[in-house]
Amino acid sequence: MRCLLPLGFLISSACAGPAGHGDTDLPGDTDDTDVVVSPTCAWGAEPALEFARSVATGRPPDGAAIEYGNPPQGGAPYAPFEVRLHAEFDTTQRIEVSANAVDTTSGEELGTIVQPQVFLCANAGPHAGWLYGGEVHVRFWDRTLEELEGKVVKVTMSVALPDGAEPVLADSTGALTWVLGRDAAAAAGAARD
pLDDT on residue 11: 32
- Give the fold, CATH level 3, of 39-192: Immunoglobulin-like (2.60.40)
CA 144 – CA 160 distance, rounded (Å): 30
The ranges assigned to domains in the chain are 1-37, 39-192
CA atoms of 29 and 51, how far apart (whole Å): 37
Amino acid at 24: T
Strand 152-160 and strand 168-180: the pairing is antiparallel
List of E strands, 3-146: 48-52, 66-69, 78-86, 95-103, 109-117, 120-122, 130-139
DSSP H helical ranges for the chain? 12-15, 145-148, 182-192
Q: What is the mean pLDDT of each run of 10 residues along the chain (193 residues)?
A: 34 31 36 45 77 69 85 91 86 90 98 94 84 92 96 95 86 93 64 57
